[in-house]
Amino acid sequence: MGQKKLIRFEAIKSFPNVLEYPQDMKGKWVDFFKNDHPITLELACGKGEYAVGLGSMFPAQNFIGIDIKGNRIWRGAKTAIDDGLNNVAFVRSHIDKITDYFNPGEVSEIWITFPDPQLRGSRFKKRLTHPRFLRLYQTILQNGGLVHLKTDSPDLYQFTLTVINLFQLDLLESSDNVYAANSVKPELQIKTHYEGLDIAGSNRIHYCCFKVDKPLPIEKDDILKQLISEQGTD
* CA nearest to 130, candidates 228, 52, 13: 228
* 3 state DSSP class of 99: helix
How far apart CA 228 and CA 234 sit, in angstroms, is: 6
Neighbour count for residue 15 (Cβ, 10 Å): 17
Q: How many CA atoms lie within 13 A of 231 on its CB side?
A: 18
Q: What is the DSSP letter of 48?
A: -
How far apart CA 152 and CA 177 sit, in angstroms, is: 9
133 Cβ contact list (under 8 Å, min separation 6): 95, 96, 127
The CA radius of gyration of the chain, in Å to the nearest whole number, is: 17
Phi, psi angles (nearest 5°) of residue 19: -120, 130
| Known catalytic residue at 116 | yes
* 3 state DSSP class of 75: helix
Which one of the listed residues 116, 176, 213, 221 is annotated catalytic? 116
* CA nearest to 33, candidates 85, 80, 84, 86: 86
Phi, psi angles (nearest 5°) of residue 196: -65, -30
Residues tagged active-site:
116
